Amino acid sequence: MPDCYVVIGNPVAHSKSPWIHAQFARQLRQDIEYARIEAPLDGFARTVDAFRAAGGRGANVTLPFKEQAFVYCRDAVSLRARVAGVVNTLIFEGGGPASEIRGDNTDGVGLLRDITVNLGRAIMGQRVLLMGAGGAAQGVLGPLLGAGPQCLVIANRSAAKARSLAQRHGAAAGGGYDELGGAQFDLLINATSAGLADEAPPLPPSAFAPGALGYDMVYGRDTPFLAMARAAGAEARDGGGMLVEQAAESFFLWRGLRPDTAPVLAALRQP
Ligand code: ATR
């Protein structure tokens, strides 16, 4: 019987993860199954318990369960996931109800690889603006700081949330969009869910430095933030590359093999 993996979320029907992992498995000749499970909003732990009891070997966790996945990891949590306080990858060592439960977070490294390897952009020495202070922002903040930006500013609609996130991580600053003044950034990352409501964070267009990259972590739609970046003369990129790269890192954690992401990303982007 093949080893079984799932992506757990609510909603999860739109998830591209099963398709991405099927491409990786074919590329590396791994006999695995990868499915979607929509957990009830009040039933994350019991859904994962049941999957583990049935022999499941690992899970990707998506909205809105990443904080609960962190709590679920009774045996071990990687340093990068502990810093983030959110887990997107569960590893069930041994399989079955008595399996060891380990947690990791591959979102940050996925974002970093997409920006630095796929898009060929440096983070070190750059002025970085991170928009949002929810789970998505928390997941990538530590790795972004670790990449050595010249400065990293967190902006959020609720300024207090940005301030406390910045303080917790020793980031340069955090506050509301109206506190940005005339500051300019080389890399502007949208980690808010504004795009899902067809809105953009209230960012002054002057925030895009000449040659800037506007990156929206949302994948699969041309968000108002991306339109704003293009209108300001910046390069605009969606989160497709991050999606594939974080999946590749999860695949590596489970299977010990690193997929070649380039052909999968190219196929994902095909209309
Ligand atoms: P996620 O796990 O995707 O980060 P979340 O924890 O609900 O989800 O956080 C959503 C983030 O998007 C928050 O930073 C939120 O701002 P608030 O903390 O002020 O609520 C931000 N957000 C959502 N809609 C937005 C909008 N229309 N404009 C600006 N920010 C928005």
> What per-residue confidence (pLDDT) applies to 93?
93
> What per-residue confidence (pLDDT) applies to 116?
98
Q: Is 166 in the pocket of ligand 1 (CB under 6 A)?
A: no
Q: How far is the CA of 133 from the centre of ligand 1 (A)?
A: 7
DSSP 8-state class, residue 136: H
Asked whether this chain's domains 3-105+242-269 and 108-238 adopt the same fold, the reply is: yes
Of 193, 198, 199, 228, the one to substitute when testing ligand 1's pocket (max ligand atoms within 8 A of C-beta) is 193
Main-chain dihedrals φ then ψ at residue 222, nearest 5 degrees: -85, 100
Handedness of CA 63, 219, 38, 255 (dihedral sign): negative
> What per-residue confidence (pLDDT) applies to 218?
94
The verdict on domain 108-238 having CATH code 3.40.50.720 is yes
pLDDT band at 219 (very low <50, low <70, confident <90, very high): very high
Whether 171 shows a pLDDT value over 90: the answer reads: no
The string of pLDDT tens digits covering residues 26-80 is 999 999 999 999 999 999 999 999 999 999 999 999 999 999 999 999 899 999 9
Domain segments of the chain: what residues?
3-105+242-269, 108-238
Catalytic (active site) residue 16: no
Whether 231 shows a pLDDT value over 90: the answer reads: yes
Report how far apart, in Å, the C-alpha atoms of 1 and of each of 22, 31, 34, 60 are: 16, 9, 13, 20
pTM of the full structure: 0.96
Bridge-based pairing of strands 100-104 and 76-77 is parallel
Whether 261 shows a pLDDT value over 90: the answer reads: yes
Q: Choose, from 21, 52, 57, 66, the residue flagged as catalytic.
A: 66
Q: Whose CA is nearest to atom 11 of ligand 1?
A: 192
Q: Is 132 in the pocket of ligand 1 (CB under 6 A)?
A: yes
How is domain 3-105+242-269 classified at the CATH fold level?
Answer: Rossmann fold (3.40.50)
